[in-house]
């Protein structure tokens, strides 16, 4: 266990932090204020400092802390065990206020309503949802790339049509709607729906392969500046595909090991410090349009358990 001073939303500049997975807990005297887990504690503390500057409630929680306890682990699942047990036993007062998932977002698709593709903070509407994703900006980059490559909607104005149609960078599917937003051309929007589903919800579409070939072509032709420009898109679409595969599997992922069990993507028991702890997984009634959506507050747990399964049990 490492104890680090926390003052004015930061740690001392000369502190060397551990690498790899850690459990951390912000404390005041002996009172646990909030806790979490991360594979990169330096980046996490940077994000906490940034968030404390932007959000008053978060700043209050951060300023209340006097120090951080950090405990490294060799396995990712061990930090999850520690986290789940700790929250269950101590119920830290600022746990919800400081939750990272509050900034996570969903991709929302609806070929029959403007703006057709959007980023939303919940799944309360009638759109088709996928997610959440941890970064709004990452999703915006994906939407921008798909718009450029396939000329699908990425509407950045509240009105339509916009100048993207005049510039030839959009096919103008909005023209299938009337001024009130009602559908005029059903066939055109049926086609749009198929294209949106293929581009955004099909993990094995050809976009990544196409970009990879284009990147290799620029490399072979010694056009390194163009190769660098497309390299970030290749990386983004690889991450997007990986996350989409996670969303397809996580709700049905169940497996048992010697020291923990997973039910429907979540931890339902574990052995931690020679004691058995149980975490009943309550059934969630997702709607058909939420087939690729999971609850915000379960995302990090589900992703960690998915990654552990892929790395240790799948082929």
Average pLDDT over residues 72-90: 97
Rounded to an integer, what is the distance from CA 123 to the centroid of its chain? 15
**207 in a structural domain:** no
Average pLDDT over residues 132-145: 96
**13 in a structural domain:** yes
Rounded to an integer, what is the distance from CA 221 to the centroid of its chain? 36
Distance separating alpha carbons of residues 118 and 123, to the nearest angstrom: 12
CA dist list (Å): 308 to 77, 205, 311: 7, 25, 5
**220 in a structural domain:** no
Maximum CA pair distance of the chain? Answer: 67
Query: What are the counts of helices (DSSP H) followed by strands (DSSP E) for the chain?
Result: 9, 12
Per-residue pLDDT at 225: 78
User: Which H or E run includes 131?
Assistant: strand 128-133
**Same domain as 83, residue 45:** yes
CATH of the domain at 70: 3.40.1440.10
Return the HEC string of 170-229. CCCHHHHECCCCCECCHHHHHHHHHHHHHHHHCCCCCHHHHHHHHHHHHHHCCCHHHHHH
Distance separating alpha carbons of residues 308 and 11, to the nearest angstrom: 31
Distance separating alpha carbons of residues 288 and 5, to the nearest angstrom: 48
Distance separating alpha carbons of residues 100 and 134, to the nearest angstrom: 9
Angle between helices 224-249 and 207-220 (to 10 degrees): 160
**139 in a structural domain:** yes
The boundaries of the domain holding residue 187 are 104-201
**Same domain as 143, residue 77:** no
Average pLDDT over residues 117-143: 97
Average pLDDT over residues 209-237: 84
Q: φ, ψ for residue 19 (rounded to 5)?
A: -100, 165
Q: Could you tell me what percent of the chain has a pLDDT over 90? A: 79
The answer to whether residue 222 scores a pLDDT higher than 80 is: no
Per-residue pLDDT at 198: 95
The answer to whether residue 230 scores a pLDDT higher than 90 is: no
Average pLDDT over residues 223-232: 82
Distance separating alpha carbons of residues 206 and 209, to the nearest angstrom: 5
Number of separate domains in the chain: 3
315 pLDDT tier (thresholds 50, 70, 90): low
Per-residue pLDDT at 158: 87
Per-residue pLDDT at 153: 93
Summarised one tens digit per residue, pLDDT across range 255-303 is 999 999 999 999 999 999 999 999 998 888 999 999 999 999 999 999 9
79 pLDDT tier (thresholds 50, 70, 90): very high
- Pick the last residue of a domain from 98, 129, 164: 98
**Same domain as 190, residue 124:** yes
**Same domain as 114, residue 73:** no
**Is the whole-model pTM more than 0.85?**
yes
Distance separating alpha carbons of residues 255 and 262, to the nearest angstrom: 5
User: Which H or E run includes 271?
Assistant: strand 266-272
**240 in a structural domain:** no
Distance separating alpha carbons of residues 158 and 181, to the nearest angstrom: 12
The answer to whether residue 104 scores a pLDDT higher than 60 is: yes
- Pick the last residue of a domain from 76, 98, 120: 98
Q: φ, ψ for residue 148 (rounded to 5)?
A: -70, -40
210 pLDDT tier (thresholds 50, 70, 90): confident
Per-residue pLDDT at 304: 98
Q: Can you tell me which residue has the tokens 């559908």? A: 183
102 pLDDT tier (thresholds 50, 70, 90): very high
The answer to whether residue 30 scores a pLDDT higher than 60 is: yes
**Same domain as 87, residue 114:** no
């Amino acid at each position: 266990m490492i104890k680090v001073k926390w003052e004015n939303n930061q740690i001392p500049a000369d502190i060397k932090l551990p690498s790899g997975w850690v459990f951390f807990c912000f404390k005041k005297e002996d009172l646990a204020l909030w806790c979490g887990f991360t594979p990169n504690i330096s980046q996490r503390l940077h994000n906490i400092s940034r968030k404390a500057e932007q959000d008053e409630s978060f700043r209050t929680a951060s300023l209340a802390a006097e120090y951080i306890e950090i405990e490294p682990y060799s396995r990712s699942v061990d930090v999850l065990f520690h986290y789940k047990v700790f929250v269950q036993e101590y119920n830290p007062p600022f746990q919800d206020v400081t939750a990272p998932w509050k900034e996570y977002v969903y991709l929302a698709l609806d070929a029959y309503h403007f703006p057709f593709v959007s980023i939303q903070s919940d799944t309360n509407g009638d759109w088709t949802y996928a997610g959440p994703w941890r970064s709004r900006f990452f999703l915006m980059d994906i939407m921008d790339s798909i718009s450029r490559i396939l000329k699908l909607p990425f509407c950045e104005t509240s009105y339509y049509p916009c100048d993207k149609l005049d510039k030839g960078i959009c096919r103008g599917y909005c023209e299938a709607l009337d001024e009130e937003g009602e559908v005029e051309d059903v066939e055109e929007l049926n086609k749009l729906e198929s294209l949106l589903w293929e581009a955004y919800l099909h993990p094995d579409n050809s976009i990544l392969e196409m970009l990879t070939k284009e990147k290799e072509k620029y490399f072979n032709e010694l056009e390194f500046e163009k190769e660098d420009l497309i390299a970030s898109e290749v990386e983004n679409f690889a991450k997007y595909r990986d996350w989409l595969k996670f969303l397809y599997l996580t709700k049905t992922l169940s497996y048992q090991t010697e020291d923990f069990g997973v039910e429907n993507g979540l931890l339902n028991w574990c052995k931690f410090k020679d004691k058995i702890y149980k975490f009943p997984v309550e059934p969630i009634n997702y709607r058909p349009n939420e087939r690729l959506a999971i609850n915000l507050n379960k995302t990090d747990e589900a992703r960690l358990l998915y990654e552990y399964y892929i790395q240790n049990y799948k082929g």
